[in-house]
Amino acid sequence: MEHFNISRRHLLVGSASAAALLTASKVGQAQEAKPLPDYVAYKDPEALIVHSNNTLETERSALGVQPITPDRQLYIRNNVSPPSDEIVADRDAWEVTFEGVGEPRNITVGELKTMGIETVTMVLQCSGNGRAYFEHKPSGTPWQVGAAGCVMWTGVPLRAVVERLGGAAEGVRFVTGTGGEEIPEGLDPLDLIVERSVPVDVLDSILLAWDMNGEPISLAHGGPLRMVVPGFTGVNNIKYIKKVALTDTETEALIQSERYRIHPVGTEGSTEYPSVWQMSVKSWITGPLETARAGINQITGLAFGGMSAAASVEVSVDDGETWEEAQFIGPDLGQYAWRPFVLAKELEPGTYRIVSRATDSEGNQQPEETEPNQAGYNHNGWRAPGVDVTVS
Amino acid sequence: MEHFNISRRHLLVGSASAAALLTASKVGQAQEAKPLPDYVAYKDPEALIVHSNNTLETERSALGVQPITPDRQLYIRNNVSPPSDEIVADRDAWEVTFEGVGEPRNITVGELKTMGIETVTMVLQCSGNGRAYFEHKPSGTPWQVGAAGCVMWTGVPLRAVVERLGGAAEGVRFVTGTGGEEIPEGLDPLDLIVERSVPVDVLDSILLAWDMNGEPISLAHGGPLRMVVPGFTGVNNIKYIKKVALTDTETEALIQSERYRIHPVGTEGSTEYPSVWQMSVKSWITGPLETARAGINQITGLAFGGMSAAASVEVSVDDGETWEEAQFIGPDLGQYAWRPFVLAKELEPGTYRIVSRATDSEGNQQPEETEPNQAGYNHNGWRAPGVDVTVS
């Protein structure tokens, strides 16, 4: 009795072909299963839908009622492939350039760790999460609900670094972060560089984070250092952050000037349209899905407010005809986190369309539909992500 | 650029021999490194001190400022070796016997999941954590600070199950849980069985949990189902729970009647002494350890109250001569969770003895010393776990 077989989930770690086999055998898999890419081979193949090497979605069922999404289940969306894993070999040696401050200079992660420590829990959600629900079928990954997770970041507050560097230069209006992805030779850097600007008025909430969920940030999620902007969509949270500049204008990178803009269907993105920045109030059901047994069921889901806390959430089992208040469960992890919820509900045999509708602490309620926009960003309508459940 | 090498930490998963090699090479390792046992081969060898196959301690540095301890870093203490991993092959099929209720019967995990859902974050701490600090050198694993973690459990409240079963029988005084460990033939079951009784007045806070930190509970930590008793030491949180009985007397298992009792040095344990149940207010420093650079340092640690929330914590860099209030960081995860804390402190070159002292919301303060008890349980003195740091 000194040794034990290790369980299947651990055997599968690192085994992409076995993972593929397993995923392929799943009942109800909506699309042909692809294996996990090598750089995320440690993830849970049963929890993820592989759209492509750089786009992996978490299964709705896996999101469940988790206050914190484990790395192994967290979605992936990279605009450019990650750098070599050499950059996480000596994490404390990673250097970040600071500009637009009184005393600009380069600072290593090792030195940043001496400047302050804070932890924030926040929803990390791809700007395009829910794109599949837009009727005009925007191009891009057809995410449903699972390009989102709730994670806990630990790092230094950007405000502490800026103070140490003599404060912000006069007249700055943006925090502009640059990612460390490699840009292949011969291609236009402006077209590929992951560089985003966010309004300087959220500077106080920004972290330069080295840990996610209590462990050094994996390369896949932006280690050794990621700039996290709580309440802002995923693209604004710059991985492998190598430069932080306080600037008076937005970056001219196309990822800022043309892409990630909210513009009408049929138009091209440009600076005349709003950038995809803050998230909005949102919720969805995570169980039951497809089938359930007659009797009392625990109807579960997740709700968040984006910039402010989710204050309440209602559930409807008749596609929005009638609503009942659900209960939040688990700890309140702060205004940027999501709240798992549950409604215990007696269901008789039949078919049900189950939906949820959240309200944030500012009184904003999740809309029935989301106004269409060409690229399919910021979907938060309550009707489309509903689930059809057969109770027997 | 389509494929990447996976990082060292992921390569090591499942490779006990490589893990042993790496651990052996660590600078400052206090004892000869042992490899991770097979059943916990998925854990992080750099974060763990292997005392034996059934006793693994988390490194103080790894605890850091983590609000939640990842499974990969969480300590292990098994009184009896875990059962075969066959019991986690079909988790929903695991059956639990309920006795001492109006309508006693067996219930599967699958059915328990329909009865209610709740999440609790709590410190999980071995009764013997800190045993190494008792001067009488009790026998047993010489844990320092790392037989503790803070984890998030999701499951059904026991009260919901008891209600469904017609309520508690008359006159019950204890909740008695029995673990599913296999007892080898020919040995006395009363000597080996992991069966513990806790006072029925905490029934309302007990969970029968199937998830830990958002994933199905690993076999090593008690999956498929663990009975968790927030605020009570590790041994009271029964792994592989197979029976829950509301009883009018405590179990006669030796783990309850003789072991895990607070009795004077030189005496034998028995029912005339108090059981090891509730935890007490406690804190310790997690950084810096050993050395630091002159200048502002972030002095970090962890504090908790046991049955009630940590309300404040002080830090001293002169072994308790003078104290300064530290700041809690990160979200408040509820009364049973720990709070990471930080004190930003200018340190000139020299040597420092750094200690911390917590106070809970009931006004209980961590004592300087802990009254010795034969088996070395419940250490919570602030002086002994202090760290000596050389600043240069």
Q: Is the pLDDT of residue A255 over 50?
A: yes
SS3 content of chain B, % helix, strand, coil (to 5): 15, 35, 50
**Residue B322 has what pLDDT?**
98
**Residue B248 has what pLDDT?**
98
**Range with the poorest average pLDDT among A77-86, A292-301, A347-356, B92-101:** A77-86
Quick one: closest CA in A to B164, which residue? A296
pLDDT band at A24; cut points 50, 70, 90: very low
Quick one: closest CA in B to A294, which residue? B114
pLDDT band at A32; cut points 50, 70, 90: low
Q: Distance from CA of residue B187 to its chain's centroid?
A: 28
Residues 299-338 of A with CB under 8 A from B: 300, 329-334, 337
Residues linked to residue A244 through DSSP beta bridges, in sequence order: A98, A177
pLDDT band at A351; cut points 50, 70, 90: very high
Residue B148, phi-psi category: left (phi > 0), alpha (psi -120 to 50), beta (remainder): beta
**Residue B15 has what pLDDT?**
37
Q: Is the pLDDT of residue B274 over 80?
A: yes
**Residue B148 has what pLDDT?**
98
**Which pair of structure tokens corresponds to residue B273?**
């002494």
Q: Is the pLDDT of residue A13 over 50?
A: no
**Which pair of structure tokens corresponds to residue B386?**
């202090």
pLDDT per position as a tens digit, A190-223: 999 999 999 999 999 999 999 999 999 999 999 9
Contacts of A41 in chain B (CB under 8 A): 6, 10
Q: Is the pLDDT of residue B4 over 60?
A: no
Residues 266-305 of A with CB under 8 A from B: 293, 295-298, 300
Nearest Cβ partner for A6 among B14, B72, B337: B14
Q: Is the pLDDT of residue A10 over 80?
A: no
pLDDT per position as a tens digit, B126-147: 999 999 999 999 999 999 999 9
Residue A351, phi-psi category: left (phi > 0), alpha (psi -120 to 50), beta (remainder): beta
Q: How far apart are CA A202 and CA A170, in angstroms?
A: 17
Quick one: closest CA in B to A157, which residue? B329
Contacts of A121 in chain B (CB under 8 A): 330-331
pLDDT band at B32; cut points 50, 70, 90: low
> Do the interacting molecules here have an ipTM over 0.90?
no
**Range with the poorest average pLDDT among A199-208, B27-36, B269-278, B374-383:** B27-36
**Residue B9 has what pLDDT?**
36
- Please compute the mean of the pLDDT values over residues B273-277 and round it to a whole number: 98
Residues 6+ positions from B87 with CB-CB distance below 8 Å = B94, B180, B219, B223, B224, B240
Nearest Cβ partner for B329 among A39, A119, A332: A119
pLDDT band at B79; cut points 50, 70, 90: confident
Query: Could you write out the DSSP letters of every residue in B275-332?
Result: BS-B---EEEEEES-SEE-SEEEEEEEEEE-SSS-EEEEEEESBTTSS-EE-EE-S--
Could you tell me if B185 lies within 8 Å of chain A, comparing CB atoms? no
Residues linked to residue B243 through DSSP beta bridges, in sequence order: B97, B178
Residues 81-140 of A with CB under 8 A from B: 81-82, 84-85, 88-89, 113-121
**Residue B162 has what pLDDT?**
98
pLDDT per position as a tens digit, B143-190: 999 999 999 999 999 999 999 999 999 999 999 999 999 998 899 999
The reply to whether residue A6 touches residue B38, judged by beta carbons under 8 angstroms, is yes
Q: Which amino acid is residue A332, in one-letter code?
A: D
Percent of chain B residues topping a pLDDT of 90? 89
Q: Is the pLDDT of residue A92 over 50?
A: yes
Query: Could you write out the DSSP letters of every residue in B203-270?
Result: GGG-EEEEEETTEEPPGGGTTT-EEE-TTB-GGGS-TTEEEEEEESS----HHHHTSSB---TTS---
Q: Which amino acid is residue B238, in one-letter code?
A: I
- Please compute the mean of the pLDDT values over residues B88-97 and round it to a whole number: 97
Cα dihedral B143/B145/B147/B152 (nearest 10): 170
Q: Is the pLDDT of residue A23 over 50?
A: no
- Please compute the mean of the pLDDT values over residues A159-172 and round it to a whole number: 97
Q: Output b/e per residue, A181-209; b: 16+ Cβ within 10 A.
A: beeeeeeeebebbbbbbbebebbebbbbb
Residue found under tokens 């320092």: B144
Q: Output b/e per residue, B107-146; b: 16+ Cβ within 10 A.
A: bbbebbbbbbbbbbbbbbbbbbbbbbbbeeebebbbbbbb
**Residue B153 has what pLDDT?**
98
C-beta separation of A203 from A175 below 8 A:
yes
Q: Distance from CA of residue B322 to its chain's centroid?
A: 31
Q: How far apart are CA A341 and CA A336, in angstroms?
A: 16
Quick one: closest CA in B to A12, which residue? B14
pLDDT per position as a tens digit, B192-206: 999 999 999 999 999
Q: A129: closest CA among A146, A114, A116, A152?
A: A146
Q: Is the pLDDT of residue B91 over 50?
A: yes
A26 vs A133, which has greater pLDDT?
A133
**Residue A340 has what pLDDT?**
98
Residue found under tokens 């079963």: B165
Percent of chain B residues topping a pLDDT of 70? 92
Q: Is the pLDDT of residue A372 over 90?
A: yes
- Please compute the mean of the pLDDT values over residues B95-110 and round it to a whole number: 98
pLDDT per position as a tens digit, B335-361: 999 999 999 999 999 999 999 999 999
Chains A, B: CB pairs < 8 Å: 190
Percent of chain A residues topping a pLDDT of 90? 89
- Please compute the mean of the pLDDT values over residues A315-340 and round it to a whole number: 97
Residues 212-251 of A with CB under 8 A from B: 213-216, 218-219
Q: How far apart are CA B37 and CA B54, in angstroms?
A: 8
Quick one: closest CA in A to B332, which residue? A333
pLDDT band at A114; cut points 50, 70, 90: very high
**Which pair of structure tokens corresponds to residue A45?**
């193949």
**Residue B34 has what pLDDT?**
86
The reply to whether residue B85 touches residue A213, judged by beta carbons under 8 angstroms, is no
Cα dihedral B82/B88/B91/B93 (nearest 10): -80
Q: Is the pLDDT of residue B277 over 60?
A: yes
Q: Is the pLDDT of residue B43 over 80?
A: yes
- Helix (H) / strand (E) element for A242: namely strand A241-247
Q: Is the pLDDT of residue B1 over 80?
A: no
Q: Is the pLDDT of residue A18 over 50?
A: no
For residue A334, give how far its alpha carbon lies from the nearest alpha carbon of chain B (Å). 6
Decide: residue B170, CB within 10 A, 0-12 exposed, 13-18 middle, 19+ buried. Answer: exposed
| Average model confidence (pLDDT) across chain B | 92
**Omega of the bond leading into B349 within 30 degrees of 0 (cis):** no
**Residue A316 has what pLDDT?**
98
Residue B347 dihedral angles phi and psi, to the nearest 5°: -120, 125
Q: Is the pLDDT of residue B11 over 90?
A: no
Nearest Cβ partner for A114 among B5, B66, B297: B297
Q: B77: closest CA among B270, B276, B246?
A: B276
- Please compute the mean of the pLDDT values over residues B74-93 and round it to a whole number: 95
pLDDT band at A116; cut points 50, 70, 90: very high
A50 vs A17, which has greater pLDDT?
A50
The reply to whether residue A334 touches residue B334, judged by beta carbons under 8 angstroms, is no
